[in-house]
Each structure stands twice: as structure tokens, then as C-alpha cells.
Amino acid sequence: MRLAVTGREGQVAASLVEAARGRDDVEVVAVGRPALDLARPDTVLAALEAARPDIVVSAAAYTAVDQAEDEKDLTFAVNATGAGKVAEAAARLGVPVIHLSTDYVFDGAKDGAYVETDPTAPLGVYGASKLAGEEAVAAA
């Protein structure tokens, strides 16, 4: 199985590459900038085509939570539009996509752990952008 994981410079990609090291049944191809730049949606399909994945793991994101408040357009371009483009590219390639999100899509008011079916209520730009990304992925 060949995984293409977006966000080559991030923790998830590094962890998946490390976990696959020495295994014959899994190959991880970490893709990232400049070949795949979620702020430039025109790069997504070509980068994923080149990776030839069986599964796409969508882990790339704008993650500077506090700075996102000052960079709303870039945050939404990456976390919402970019995530949707990854899912659209995966669909076009006929492969499943696993999209990673965040607990910032919730307001933190619940006692205990959140589950996917809990109502969302992001409090800031970062959480709102990740929620928009979830919606874009679901619509792809």
C-alpha cells in the first residue's frame, strides 16, 4: 500500500514515514511545498498524481492558531480551500482520503471528550477554517 501524506514538513508526515520504515507492506510518500502548496490549489492534483497513492492522508494545514486571527485569508485558503482540493484530487484519482482536523472546531464547553457527531462551535479563525475544511472534504 502506498500512502501519500500532505504536509511533508509536519509531525504527522514524519511519524508516518518513521512508522513505515522497514516495512514491506506500506510505503509513505510525504508531499509538500513547493510541489504541493495548499495556498496554491493548482499544485494539488499534479503533486498527488506524481505520488501515485492508494490512499491520501490530508495532514497539511496552517497551524499557527494565534497568528490565524491576523491571516484569515491565508488560513482559509490552506485549511478550507486547500483541504477541499486534496479531497477532490483524491476522488479524481479514485482513492480514499483521510482528512485530519482539530478539536478547535468545538468551543471547549463540553465536559469530557468530543465525538464526531457533537455540534461544532469554533471560537476563532483557525477552528472556523478547519471546520470549513471538513465541510469541503465531505462535499468533494
- Average model confidence (pLDDT) across the chain: 95
H or E element in which residue 14 lies: helix 11-20
Convert the pLDDT of each residue in 37-51 to its tens digit.
999 989 999 999 999
As a dihedral over the C-alpha atoms of residue 127, residue 133, residue 137, residue 140, rounded to 10 degrees, the angle is: 150
Q: Is 114 a catalytic residue?
A: no
Which residue of the set 62, 104, 114, 126 is catalytic? Answer: 126
User: What's the pLDDT score for residue 130?
Assistant: 98
Q: Which pTM value belongs to this model?
A: 0.92
Domain spans of the chain, in order of start? 2-139
C-alpha pair distances (Å), 50 with each of 36, 54, 115, 138 = 10, 12, 35, 24
Q: Does domain 2-139 have CATH number 3.40.47.10?
A: no
At 77-129, the pLDDT tens digits run 999 999 999 999 999 999 999 999 999 999 999 999 999 999 999 999 999 99
